[in-house]
């Protein structure tokens, strides 16, 4: 009997050690995947540009350029999951996120100026080699930077970042009316975009399940768009967007001449930038890692894990 009790005690001790060892392994694995994101600001020509940074600066850099109506917040999953292998920088444009919001008299709200500001931002941080991840507004900002600094760009990751006229969807109808004739009536037609309901629609339209989408996204955007003069400043950017279309041929030529490694991770149900915008890249880039997802404008919200895995594989393949 005593012999059996000793064996039982040894068995229970062994099981306890195994469980403790297993827990330690799990904790170690979790610690490897969770990293620290830092929230910083830097002054660029009198404007404090906020940015999120994660990862070792000695690793290859990915610059994450956000869209409307969001901020660097839209890249929170990328920052958390990829920072062990890559250096990640996600700035907020002036007037967005946690960056300064100067008045239209103090800052020219055009895509030329947003891109110039972010280019200066990268230069000031001495970031001279990087892949660009672009989404929505990130495309006109990113391609302006790429065409000025082709030698610095190691690759492009486009998540519904359009540079083709055939990639402009039906949701541009009211903005096109603004381009044709900017007046009180055409501006008023766009005001629902800034409402809480309108912002929620941008995140949930085209998704497989709206309950997959974190409501913090549109609530944070609504908070920023509720500031005085926020509507008029963003209407200025809506109006200026027509100048991006004039530069599409230049950006397409950049692709043809430089053939940067290109990863497409596109939500096909995007009312602003449907799949035709992704398909159009095939005209100009020979080798594309092409991935289409059954989701909407902010594909990272619903397909973040799959997209991040694609980014990881893509970054391993490109030459730094």
Q: Which two tokens stand for residue 76?
A: 């929170």
Structural contact between residues 112 and 242, judged by C-beta atoms closer than 8 angstroms: no
Active site residue 297: yes
For tokens 């004739």, the residue is: 181
- Taking the C-alpha atoms of residue 236 and residue 245, their distance in angstroms, rounded to an integer, is 16
Residues 6+ away with beta carbon under 8 Å from 26: none
Residues 6+ away with beta carbon under 8 Å from 259: 285, 286, 287
64 by DSSP, 3-state: which? strand
Spot the catalytic one: 66, 87, 205, 297. 297
Instruction: Please say whether the dihedral angle defined by the alpha carbons of residues 212, 279, 202 and 37, taken in this order, is positive or negative.
Output: positive
- Taking the C-alpha atoms of residue 81 and residue 78, their distance in angstroms, rounded to an integer, is 5
The conformational region for residue 264 under phi > 0 = left, psi -120 to 50 = alpha, else beta, is: beta
284 by DSSP, 3-state: which? coil
Structural contact between residues 177 and 189, judged by C-beta atoms closer than 8 angstroms: yes
For tokens 């009316």, the residue is: 177
Q: Which two tokens stand for residue 279?
A: 């398909």
Structural contact between residues 196 and 224, judged by C-beta atoms closer than 8 angstroms: no
Residues 6+ away with beta carbon under 8 Å from 320: 60, 129, 154
So which residues are the catalytic ones?
A: 297
């Amino acid at each position: 009997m005593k012999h059996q009790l000793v064996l039982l005690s040894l068995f229970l001790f062994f099981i306890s050690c195994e469980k403790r060892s297993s827990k330690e392994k799990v904790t170690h694995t979790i610690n490897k995947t969770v990293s620290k994101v830092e929230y910083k600001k830097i002054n660029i020509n009198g404007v404090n540009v906020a940015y999120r940074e994660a990862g070792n600066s000695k690793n290859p850099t990915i610059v994450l350029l956000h869209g409307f109506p969001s901020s660097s917040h839209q890249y929170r999953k990328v920052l958390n999951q990829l920072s062990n292998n890559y250096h990640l920088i996600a700035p907020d444009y002036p007037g967005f996120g946690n960056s300064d919001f100067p008045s239209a008299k103090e800052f020219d709200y055009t895509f030329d100026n947003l891109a110039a500001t972010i280019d200066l931002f990268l230069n000031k941080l001495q970031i001279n080699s990087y892949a660009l991840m672009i989404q929505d507004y990130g495309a006109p900002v990113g391609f302006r930077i790429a065409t000025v600094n082709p030698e610095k760009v190691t690759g492009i990751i486009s998540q519904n970042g359009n540079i083709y006229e055939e990639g402009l969807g039906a949701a541009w109808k009211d903005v096109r009316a603004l381009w044709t004739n900017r007046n009180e009536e055409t501006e008023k037609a766009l005001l629902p975009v800034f409402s809480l309901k309108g912002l929620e629609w941008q995140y949930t339209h085209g998704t497989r399940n709206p309950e997959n989408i974190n409501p913090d996204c549109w609530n944070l955007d609504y908070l920023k768009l509720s500031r005085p003069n926020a509507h008029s400043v963003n209407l200025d950017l809506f109006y200026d967007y027509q100048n991006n279309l004039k530069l599409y041929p230049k950006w397409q030529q950049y692709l043809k001449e430089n053939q940067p490694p290109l990863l497409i991770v596109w939500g096909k149900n995007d009312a602003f930038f449907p799949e035709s915008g992704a398909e159009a890249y095939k005209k100009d880039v020979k080798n594309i890692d092409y991935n289409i997802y059954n989701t909407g404008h902010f594909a990272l919200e619903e397909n973040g894990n799959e997209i991040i895995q694609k980014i990881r594989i893509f970054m391993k393949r490109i030459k730094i």
